[in-house]
Amino acid sequence: MHTETEAARQLTLKSAWAVDSGGSPNTKLASMAKEFASRVAVDAANECVQIHGGSGFVDDFDAERLYRDAKITQIYEGTTEIQKMIIARELQGKGF
């Protein structure tokens, strides 16, 4: 989980760096960062719930809240499916 989290962090930082260095926003890179980071967050939160078993679903326990918070990242600000479509369009436009 830590490896995937670090990979998501680096992809996000690369996307931010592309803008901060004076370039225009890189739509493909931003969509890749959002899709990947959202997936990693949900996978890590799901594993947390799994590790804690039944108590992972109790409202008083952080695992349940973390899972809800992670899952919503796949829905808000462009669903995962939309991010994948943006990435595919960007790749097709570049002749890949």
Q: Assign residue 31 the CATH number of its domain.
A: 1.20.140.10
| Number of neighbouring beta carbons within 10 Å of residue 36 | 17
Task: Tell me which of 6, 64, 77, 90 is the catalytic residue.
Answer: 77
Q: With a threshold of 0.75, does the pTM exceed it?
A: yes
Tell me whether residue 64 is one of the annotated catalytic residues. Answer: no
pLDDT the model gives residue 80: 87
Asked whether the beta carbons of 49 and 71 are under 8 A apart, the reply is no
Domain encompassing residue 42: 2-93
pLDDT in tens, the chain (96 residues): 999 999 999 999 999 998 898 877 789 999 999 999 999 999 999 999 888 887 777 777 788 888 889 999 888 878 888 999 999 999 988 644
In the chain, the number of structural domains is 1
Long-range contacts of 7-14 (CB under 8 A, 24+ apart): 7/36, 7/40, 8/33, 8/36, 8/37, 8/40, 8/41, 9/37, 11/36, 11/37, 12/37
